[in-house]
Amino acid sequence: MIKRRRGWSGVERNVWYFVQQAKRKATSVALSVVGPVRRPPRQSEQRGAARVPHGVAASLSRRTQPTPLKTARESETRHRHRASPILRHTRTQPFFCGAAEMAKVPVIDLRLTGAASPEESARLREACERLGCFRVTGHGAPPELLAEMKAAVRLLFDLPDDAKRRNTDVIPGSGYVAPSATNALYEAFGLLDAAAPADVDAFCARLDAPPGVRETVKAYAEKMHDVIVDVAGKLASSMGLDQEERCSFKDWPCQFRINKYNYTEDTVGSSGVQVHTDSSFLTVLQEDECVGGLEVLDPATGEFVPVDPVAGSFLINIGDVGTAWSNGRLHNVKHRVRCVAPVPRISIAMFLLAPKDGRVSAPETFVDADRPRRYKAFNYDDYRRLRMSNGEHAGEALARLEA
Ligand SMILES: O=C(O)CCC(=O)C(=O)O
Ligand SMILES: [Fe+2]
C-alpha cells in the first residue's frame, strides 16, 4: 500500500522519472504507449487535489448540494472528524493524470443540448457519427457521489475472492470477470439490471457489502441511470427522432460494471484490456482520473490515441447496438486500455444495452432510398452470445447481421 505523504510518495516520483526518461528516449509510437502521465503537482496544486473528495461521506443526504471548497487545513480537520471509512480508503491513493498527445474528444455540455442550443446538439451527433465517443459535462451527477463511488469500488475489489465469485452472470459476461489469459491484469464485477433497484440491492446483498457501500452503489446506480437516459434521449433528438420514438430509453436494461486493473512496476507498457467495442447502445464511463491509459481508435487515421481523463466528466462510447439501431450512422468506437503506471486503476461503466424486448432494429426514420436497411433485426442476447462464441469483441459480428 502506498502511504500518502506531504509531498509525492517514492513510487509516484519513480513513475514521474520513468515517464520523463521514456519521453526523452521514445519515438512518437512509444509516446502514445506511455500515454497520459503529467508532471508531479506543485505543493499548491496538491492541496487542491487533496480537496477533491472532501466532505463526500459526511453528507450522503446532502449529495445534491456540492460542498463549498475549503482551505486545505479546514479540509483536513473536517476529514479527521467526519470522513467515513470509505473516504479514508480513497485518500491513500496516488495521483497521476494529464497527457501531451491526446485524442480530440469533443466535450458536450448536456445543459446546452436540445432546444437550448441546436449547435451543441449537432456537435453531439457529429461526435457519435465520426469518432463514436465524446465527453459530457453538465450531467448533474454531484462530484461527491462520484468520489464516494470510486472509494466504494475500491472496497468492493478488496472483498475476498469467494464473495466476488458470488456475483454470477445474468447474461454472459455480466457477472464477476476474473483475470484471464487475454486480460491478465483486468478484473471486473457486474450487475444487471442497474435500472432496477431490486437488482442493485440483490447485487450488494450477495456480496455482503458494508451498509455504507450499499447506500453509495444504490445512489450511484440511480443517478447514472438518469444520466444515461438523458444522454440517449439527447442523441436521439439530435438525430431527428420525435419524443414518442425516443422516450423508451428509460425502460432499456442497463448493465453496470466496475473494472480494476492490477498494475505493477513490471506491467507498465502492457495491455490492460484488449481492443474491443462495447456491445451496448451506449456506455457512460467514469474514468480513473488519476491513472490514464484508455485509448480510442481514430477512424480518420486508423491509429489508437490516448484519451485524457477529466475529473467530474464522463466519457460516452457508442457500441454495436448504437451502430445497428442507427442504421449505420453512429460509429461503434474501438478502444483498449494500456498500463501507463504501476498503480491500480479503476473505472466504472454503465451500459444502456438494448430495447426492453431485446429486439434491435433501426426505426423507419433512419431508413430511406439513400440509406436502405443495413442490418436484419436481431435479439441483443443472441448478438452478445455470437460475439463471445466467435471471439469477435471489436464489432466484427455486426457484419454477420447485414441485411
Ligand atoms: O477502463 C476503461 O477505461 C475502459 C473500460 C471499458 O472499455 C469497458 O468497461 O468496456
Ligand atoms: Fe469498453
pLDDT tens digits for range 41-53: 333 333 333 333 3
pLDDT digits (tens, 9 = 90+) for 267-302: 999 999 999 999 999 999 999 999 999 999 999 999
CA distances from 199 to 146, 325, 402 (A): 21, 26, 34
Assign domain 107-401 to a CATH class: mainly beta
From CA 334, how far away is CA 216, in angstroms rounded?
31
Query: What is the pairing mode between strands 133-137 and 107-109?
Result: parallel
Lowest mean pLDDT among 86-90, 134-138, 173-177, 232-236: 86-90
Question: How many Å lie between the centroid of ligand 1 and the Cα of residue 257?
Answer: 9
Pocket of ligand 1 (CB under 6 A): 257, 259, 278, 285, 287, 294, 335, 337, 347, 349
pLDDT tier at 13 (50, 70, 90 boundaries)? very low
pLDDT of 264 > 80? The answer is yes
Mean pLDDT of the chain: 78
User: Which residue's CA lies nearest to atom 3 of ligand 1?
Assistant: 294
From CA 275, how far away is CA 259, in angstroms rounded?
15
- What interhelical angle do 211-238 and 143-157 show, nearest 10? 120
Ligand 1 pocket test: which of 276, 280, 297, 337 has the largest number of ligand atoms within 8 Å of its C-beta?
337
User: Which atom number of ligand 1 is nearest to the Cα of residue 259?
Assistant: 1
**Half-sphere exposure of residue 182: CA atoms within 13 angstroms, side-chain side:** 9
Q: What is the pLDDT of residue 96?
A: 42
Question: How many Å lie between the centroid of ligand 2 and the Cα of residue 320?
Answer: 11
Q: Alpha helix locations (H) across 241-340?
A: 243-246, 320-325
Q: What is the pLDDT of residue 17?
A: 33
Q: What is the pLDDT of residue 129?
A: 97
Ligand nearest to the CA of 188: 1
Question: How many Å lie between the centroid of ligand 2 and the Cα of residue 59?
Answer: 32
Question: How many Å lie between the centroid of ligand 1 and the Cα of residue 357?
Answer: 26
User: Which atom number of ligand 1 is nearest to the Cα of residue 287?
Assistant: 3
Question: How many Å lie between the centroid of ligand 1 and the Cα of residue 349?
Answer: 7
From CA 65, how far away is CA 54, in angstroms rounded?
13
Global pTM value: 0.77
**E runs forming strands in 28-109:** 107-109
From CA 17, how far away is CA 119, in angstroms rounded?
43
Q: What is the pLDDT of residue 45?
A: 36
| 342 C-beta neighbours (distance < 10 Å), count | 19
Lowest mean pLDDT among 23-32, 262-271, 289-298, 389-398: 23-32
Q: What is the pLDDT of residue 104?
A: 85
As a whole number, mean pLDDT of residues 127-135 equals 96
From CA 287, how far away is CA 284, in angstroms rounded?
9
**Domain ranges in the chain?**
107-401
pLDDT of 81 > 60? The answer is no
Question: How many Å lie between the centroid of ligand 2 and the Cα of residue 205?
Answer: 27
CA distances from 73 to 24, 41, 53, 70 (A): 38, 18, 14, 8
Portion of the chain with pLDDT greater than 70, in percent:
73
- DSSP assignment of 24-47: HH--HHHHHHH----PPPPHHHHH
Q: What is the pLDDT of residue 222?
A: 96
Q: What is the pLDDT of residue 103?
A: 64
From CA 119, how far away is CA 116, in angstroms rounded?
9
Q: What is the pLDDT of residue 106?
A: 94
Higher pLDDT, 56 or 334: 334
Q: What is the pLDDT of residue 11?
A: 35
pLDDT tier at 107 (50, 70, 90 boundaries)? very high
pLDDT of 312 > 80? The answer is yes
From CA 56, how far away is CA 101, in angstroms rounded?
33
As a whole number, mean pLDDT of residues 86-103 equals 45
pLDDT of 347 > 80? The answer is yes
User: Which residue's CA lies nearest to atom 1 of ligand 1?
Assistant: 347
Lowest mean pLDDT among 20-29, 64-73, 176-185: 64-73
Angle, CA 296 vertex, CA 23 and CA 283 arms, to 5°:
135
Lowest mean pLDDT among 10-14, 131-135, 269-273: 10-14
As a whole number, mean pLDDT of residues 112-120 equals 80
Higher pLDDT, 60 or 195: 195
Higher pLDDT, 64 or 347: 347
Whether the CA torsion 300, 281, 279, 150 is positive or negative: it is positive
User: Which atom number of ligand 1 is nearest to the Cα of residue 188?
Assistant: 9
Ligand nearest to the CA of 190: 1
